Structure 1
Amino acid sequence: MKIYNYIKLGLGSLIMLITACTNDDFTPLRISQSNNAEDSPTGSAQARANVLLPGSGVMMQAFYWDVTEGGIWWNNIESKLDSWAVNGVDAIWIPPISKGQSGGFSMGYDPADYFDFGDFQQHGTVETRFGNREELEKMIGTAHEYEIAVIADIVINHNSGGALEYNEFRQIETYTLFEPASGLFNRTWLNYLPNAENLEDEGRFGGFPDLDLKNDYVIDWLWRSEESVASFYMNTLNIDGWRFDYVKGFSPDVVKQWIGSVGGYSVGENFDGNVTDVVGPWVEASGANAFDFPNFFNMRNAFLNGNLNELTKPSLLSTMPEKAVTFVGNHDTESRDGSNEFPNEFETHAYAYIMSAPGYPCVFYSHYEDSGDEQKEKINQLIQIRSQLAAGDWSVNFVNNQEFIATRGGDDEKPGLVLYINLTDQEVSREVQTHWNSTNIKDYTEKYNLFQNSDANGLVVLKAPAMGYTIWAATDDEQVAFSDILYVPGGYQGWDPNTAPKLDAFETPNLAGTYKGHVSLTGEINEFKFTDAPNWDNGIYGDEGEGTAGVLAAPGNNVVLPGPLDYEINVDLVNNTWSANTWAIIGSGTPNGWDDPDTDMNYDFDRNVWTITTNLTDGELKFRANNGWDINLGGTGAEGDLSHGGDNIAVAAGSYQIDLDVTNKAFNLGSWGIIGSATPNGWDDPDTDMGYDMTNEVWTVTIDLVPGEMKFRFNDAWNVNLGDAGAGSSLEQDGDNIIITTAGNYTITLDVVRNMYSINSN
């Protein structure tokens, strides 16, 4: 296996050697070393002609720390390649593919056998954590079918899993005897630092045996020979590139030589925030790309501390953008003690930043696949925006602690963009200088549907929502608005769109596609749909599910609501949602107390309020929607004002007409009375109160009257008063005084729903 030549060292050399390489005590021997010639590889490594070079799309880090074990991961990745390709992924970064000391539990960063891809029984397993070689190669082949480059994580700084052997140089036992089951790249203490030829390199990783990357035998096996790791991965497994792990541990010249031998895409992990003294010089010396840790730390500090000025600090993105691989998180930043984890609530903000800026973005698997459909859709949208818009020089237009605006100047193929990030709790807007003159400017994140227009000098006012972001760019699209009205035909009115109730757009022109209106549903079970015209010939919308899902589909199934009840209905054609609320009162002062069901209110289409007339007892009440507590209104302490989840409202016993204005969050508890010269108090306050007959649904009072006049008033005030309409028993607002000709005892009734009254002598 090895050949030794022992040479006596002088005392001075011994002292220097011991001091430089190790704290272990050993006899002063220097060893001229070499591996057995029969173990050495042959030939010269060559690059592959059809290697895929990424960069036009985005990279996907196709793993996270401690992915699901059991040998399923290569198959899992393969199953996602189709959708990843469709959404703009042009490279996947996969974990170290060879067997590690931890066997089936290893994430690959403890490499033992560089040529065992899950085919040899060693370290307690045959398969790696990720699968076997057949599954690996099948996944790589599928990736290439979708024009996705495969970037392999390469760990060459250190090894793990060697057997104990006597280290002639250090004169102690070390775990440096590697006789891998693949039979390739046998290693001994001769190939690890420190040794007689090289005492140290740029850095050790923990206590792992530190490969001597200046040792010819190691160089031949790793990248220089035809049988090398690099050559086998590139030309046999068809790997397209390399992610070099822990490049702080060895010279950047190693990466330069590796790429010079076999080619392929290359990116280094230099885990450091200093671009000026660390990351930048490494890129220049190696010629490789690097993960932009300086930008990562800038973004993390900016969003975590609420200071977007941090985004302007130096990074690869700002100094060497063509070499920057930008990212929001990876298996290291997300898996350790949390000190480097990116704040979850700002992940999509950060993706908006790296997708807009120069550099080659890398998407983290956990952010994309394991953070919910909403975040996945947002990242997909940002990838598409990058593909469509992002080009040209990057410049910061405006920045303070909570707002950031930057522009890309565009090129012959892409128009460029404006990124606007807002960390305040309200919508913001600013005038921005762009390179688009007299042009429609569109928000491609679709937060705003209304285009903005730049003036002849390229100035335009752009907006960003509270705690959000927008990406604006010039567009040739025509501004398109939704219809101003939606019709609600259903069984309750004969399925006739022409006579159906209407929902009105929140604003016109209706660019947001949002509608609101009120409908009285008369049946016990009511089915209906929405149409954007008074016929069945245009847009027809229903429920995606069985009638109650709240998600729109075209034409969809009938929407189903119980009744008879009045409803406030909201429809959003942009987000494909609908909702319906019916309001009621609940509480100890109401007829049913705090128990279900609530006491339902009706909608007054003339006054645009929800209303109910009922008798209350001393106690409390609240307003709530749909017999549930998700939406409820209570008092604020100010008379008549409401807030979501507010306080219980104290009420005194009596008959009341209760009005609820949901839009303005206001309410009124009032009662009807009579006033006039014929009544006991004359024309002076207070009115003579009436009580409410819940059986007949009328206000009533039995009282002695004298000859004279009278009217009905609400809440002892003249702003709502009813007088004779000239038709005997009908009433109207501000109508004539009602004449009483004969003194006597009378029963007076008031029907405010039909505006009718009666005065009967007893």
Structure 2
Amino acid sequence: MIKRTLFQFFHWYSLGDSRLWKEVAAKASDLAELGITDVWLPPAYKGASGAYSVGYDTYDLFDLGEFDQKGSRATKYGDRAAFEVSCRALVDHGIRPIHDVVLNHKMGADEKERVVVRRVDAGDRRQIAEDDVEALAYTRFTFPGRGGKYSEFIWDKQCFSGVDLIEEPNESGVFRLMNEYGEGQWNDEVDDELGNFDYLMGADVEFRNKAVYEELKYWGRWFSDQVPVGGFRLDAAKHIPAWFFKDWVGHMRETVGDDLFVVAEYWHPDMGTLTNYLELVDKQLMLFDVALHHRFHDASKAGGDFDMRTIFDGSLVSANPQHAVTLVDNHDTQPLQSLEATVEPWFKPLAYALILLREQGTPCVFYPDLYGAEYSDKGTDESQHLVKMPAIGCLPKLIEARQRFANGPQVDQFDDPSVIGFTRHGTETEPGCVVVMSNGAAGEISVDLGPNQSSTLFIDFLGHHEAEVTVDEQGRANFPTNGGSVSVWVRRDAL
């Protein structure tokens, strides 16, 4: 049975100049052979910064690199034709395209409008001033370069709940737009950070406007008619009312396909918060396991002082595995980004073994970990930093091992603070494996495989350990690992 393995085919500093869509098409075959089943693509539509946009500053959802807008026709990743080719290449190789959907806000408005706003306490968004302020704001989106093709909808001040910049008076901050929606209050069913985390950036979309609500559903149907869609990654879910995504995802399942893979970015480590959110959206989607990512980060920083028996404590995959997408790093946690909490390279083989080879969760592999990355940017100290993210040498083998050997019942042996392991016992037709890792000194675990495995010879599929392990007459064997390393022990005859 093929296990779902998601691959994030970009990072924040992916090269521009229309190269990424071509790279997707070129690597589709290799990814399929490796065992990747789903590829998460970056936002495909035009951002406010045009050809330089990573895609999260949404300008025009209907411009997939087709129209001369924001200084370019193509997006950073390529034009519409190349995007279509990349999606078809994935499908032709049995891989489902997972598309990034950024509906929370719009940026780069075409015109200013006269608006009425109220100032908001940035530290507690529930504190909204009582005084109205007349001002100008960038809230009118007419998309002149597209000229009404695909949609004639014009976004104006009635389509947004807040902005962060006004003119006459010239101020920046958080401002609640006073219109006919919400009686001056933010949306509910959003995260309670900062009191109410409805507002994030730009012109914040007002989902209570029925016209906006219907336009976004129409866009989802339209987009799915343009390119193959295997699912969606939903950006900034903690800032969007849960009732909207409950309806939007339900509509997509009804009109596009009931087997869509949908994962939301609700960046919160608290299980109570995530469980409540899953209930609000009728459990129609999955969530990224933020808590597990932070456990990996902490473990990689602490080295041998971290108690590996606790690695899954507080994680979504341990509490609600069927709704957990596990990850090691992503474009927000990589060095110099807003949620930077990078997992150190030495620990990444251990972390990937823990998400790729276990029964629970759907693992997501990050582009730089497979292919490497090098880039430079300013840090918080305003100086320029050169970052090199090395490819993890054993990662292709770990992905392959997921498809070949991560089979059958799972038995954990988390008995030692440094050396832990687990056994996948295989099935009648599919081989299993024994996974052993240490964040300290070399060690081993003793495993009872049963008398039917007597005299069976095991080797490390990753090649990290040179030993050969033979199971004794009682079906037991000691499986070693090097210090700060991981080994995946498989039957030699299964190779």
Same structural fold, with TM-score higher than 0.5 when normalized by the shorter chain:
yes
Q: In the alignment, what sits opposite 1:361?
A: 363
Residue from 401, 404, 425 that aligns with 1:385: 401
Q: 1:368-404: per-residue Cα shift (whole Å, max 9, x none)?
A: 1116999455111111111012134544312433222
User: SS where residue 312 of structure 1 aligns?
Assistant: coil
Q: 1:653-701: per-residue Cα shift (whole Å, max 9, x none)?
A: xxxxxxxxxxxxxxxxxxxxxxxxxxxxxxxxxxxxxxxxxxxxxxxxx
Q: Is the 8 A contact 1:409 1:435 kept in 2?
A: no
Q: Is the 8 A contact 2:436 2:445 kept in 1?
A: no
> Is residue 115 of structure 2 the alignment partner of residue 167 of structure 1?
yes
Gaps of 5+ in 1: 1-53, 479-762
User: SS where residue 353 of structure 1 aligns?
Assistant: helix
- In the superposition, relative to structure 1, how do residues 141 and 282 fare at CA in structure 2: closer, same or farther (>3 Å)? same
Q: Is the 8 A contact 2:332 2:338 kept in 1?
A: no
- In the superposition, relative to structure 1, how do residues 338 and 318 fare at CA in structure 2: closer, same or farther (>3 Å)? closer
Offset of residue 153 of structure 1: 0.6
1:179 counterpart letter in structure 2:
T
> Is residue 422 of structure 2 the alignment partner of residue 438 of structure 1?
no
User: SS where residue 156 of structure 1 aligns?
Assistant: coil
Offset of residue 252 of structure 1: 2.6
CA RMSD between the two structures: 2.6
Which whole-Å CA distance do the structure 2 matches of 1:338 and 1:158 have between them?
19
> Is residue 95 of structure 2 the alignment partner of residue 95 of structure 1?
no
> Is residue 417 of structure 2 the alignment partner of residue 422 of structure 1?
no
2:421 counterpart letter in structure 1:
I
Q: Is the 8 A contact 2:423 2:432 kept in 1?
A: yes
- In the superposition, relative to structure 1, how do residues 281 and 125 fare at CA in structure 2: closer, same or farther (>3 Å)? same
Matches within 5 A, 1:477-492: none
Matches within 5 A, 1:494-573: none
Q: 1:606-660: per-residue Cα shift (whole Å, max 9, x none)?
A: xxxxxxxxxxxxxxxxxxxxxxxxxxxxxxxxxxxxxxxxxxxxxxxxxxxxxxx
Q: In the alignment, what sits opposite 2:487?
A: 470
Matches within 5 A, 1:29-178: 56-162=3-109, 163-167=111-115, 171-178=134-141
Residue from 302, 305, 314 that aligns with 1:305: 302
- In the superposition, relative to structure 1, how do residues 213 and 400 fare at CA in structure 2: closer, same or farther (>3 Å)? farther
Q: Is the 8 A contact 2:405 2:426 kept in 1?
A: yes
> Is residue 232 of structure 2 the alignment partner of residue 242 of structure 1?
yes
**Which is higher, the Rg of structure 1 or of structure 2?**
1
Which whole-Å CA distance do the structure 1 matches of 2:423 and 2:463 have between them?
18
Offset of residue 168 of structure 1: 5.0
- In the superposition, relative to structure 1, how do residues 214 and 477 fare at CA in structure 2: closer, same or farther (>3 Å)? same
Q: Is the 8 A contact 2:332 2:340 kept in 1?
A: no
Q: In the alignment, what sits opposite 1:328?
A: 328
Offset of residue 430 of structure 1: 2.7
2:485 counterpart letter in structure 1:
G
Which whole-Å CA distance do the structure 2 matches of 1:419 and 1:309 have between them?
14
Q: Is the 8 A contact 1:436 1:474 kept in 2?
A: no
Q: In the alignment, what sits opposite 2:264?
A: 268
Which whole-Å CA distance do the structure 1 matches of 2:70 and 2:355 have between them?
41
User: SS where residue 254 of structure 1 aligns?
Assistant: helix
- In the superposition, relative to structure 1, how do residues 114 and 421 fare at CA in structure 2: closer, same or farther (>3 Å)? same
Which whole-Å CA distance do the structure 1 matches of 2:350 and 2:155 have between them?
48
Which whole-Å CA distance do the structure 1 matches of 2:343 and 2:266 have between them?
18
Offset of residue 459 of structure 1: 3.1
2:180 counterpart letter in structure 1:
A
Which whole-Å CA distance do the structure 2 matches of 1:138 and 1:273 have between them?
37
Whichever structure has more helix as a proportion of its residues is 2
Which whole-Å CA distance do the structure 1 matches of 2:319 and 2:104 have between them?
28
User: SS where residue 68 of structure 1 aligns?
Assistant: coil
Q: 1:173-198: per-residue Cα shift (whole Å, max 9, x none)?
A: 22211112332332111111154222
How many residues are treated as equivalent by the alignment? 419
Offset of residue 207 of structure 1: 3.5
Gaps of 5+ in 2: 119-133, 162-176, 191-196, 254-259, 374-387
Offset of residue 436 of structure 1: 6.8
Whichever structure has more strand as a proportion of its residues is 1
Offset of residue 146 of structure 1: 0.6
Matches within 5 A, 1:377-416: 377-416=393-432
- In the superposition, relative to structure 1, how do residues 366 and 313 fare at CA in structure 2: closer, same or farther (>3 Å)? same
Which whole-Å CA distance do the structure 2 matches of 1:57 and 1:269 have between them?
19
Offset of residue 243 of structure 1: 0.2
Offset of residue 56 of structure 1: 2.3
Which whole-Å CA distance do the structure 2 matches of 1:62 and 1:187 have between them?
31
Which whole-Å CA distance do the structure 2 matches of 1:436 and 1:328 have between them?
37
Offset of residue 285 of structure 1: 3.1
User: SS where residue 89 of structure 1 aligns?
Assistant: coil
User: SS where residue 445 of structure 2 aligns?
Assistant: strand
Residue from 201, 207, 211 that aligns with 2:205: 211
Which whole-Å CA distance do the structure 1 matches of 2:297 and 2:220 have between them?
35
Q: Is the 8 A contact 1:98 1:108 kept in 2?
A: yes
User: SS where residue 406 of structure 1 aligns?
Assistant: strand
Offset of residue 124 of structure 1: 1.8
1:362 counterpart letter in structure 2:
C
> Is residue 220 of structure 2 the alignment partner of residue 230 of structure 1?
yes
Offset of residue 91 of structure 1: 1.2
Offset of residue 158 of structure 1: 1.1
Which whole-Å CA distance do the structure 1 matches of 2:342 and 2:493 have between them?
41
Residue from 282, 292, 298 that aligns with 2:277: 282
1:200 counterpart letter in structure 2:
W
Offset of residue 242 of structure 1: 0.4
Offset of residue 205 of structure 1: 4.7
- In the superposition, relative to structure 1, how do residues 373 and 388 fare at CA in structure 2: closer, same or farther (>3 Å)? farther
Q: In the alignment, what sits opposite 1:186?
A: 154
User: SS where residue 280 of structure 1 aligns?
Assistant: helix
1:218 counterpart letter in structure 2:
V
User: SS where residue 397 of structure 2 aligns?
Assistant: helix
2:246 counterpart letter in structure 1:
K
> Which structure exhibits the higher relative contact order, with contacts defined as CA atoms closer than 8 Å and separated by 6 or more residues?
2
Identity %: 25
Q: In the alignment, what sits opposite 1:452?
A: 469
1:174 counterpart letter in structure 2:
A
1:189 counterpart letter in structure 2:
K
Offset of residue 73 of structure 1: 1.6
Bigger mean CA offset, 375-384 vs 120-129:
375-384
Q: Is the 8 A contact 1:429 1:463 kept in 2?
A: yes
> Is residue 205 of structure 2 the alignment partner of residue 258 of structure 1?
no
Which whole-Å CA distance do the structure 1 matches of 2:395 and 2:107 have between them?
37
Offset of residue 62 of structure 1: 0.6
> Is residue 316 of structure 2 the alignment partner of residue 319 of structure 1?
no
- In the superposition, relative to structure 1, how do residues 70 and 438 fare at CA in structure 2: closer, same or farther (>3 Å)? closer
Q: In the alignment, what sits opposite 2:376?
A: none
1:166 counterpart letter in structure 2:
R
- In the superposition, relative to structure 1, how do residues 110 and 370 fare at CA in structure 2: closer, same or farther (>3 Å)? same
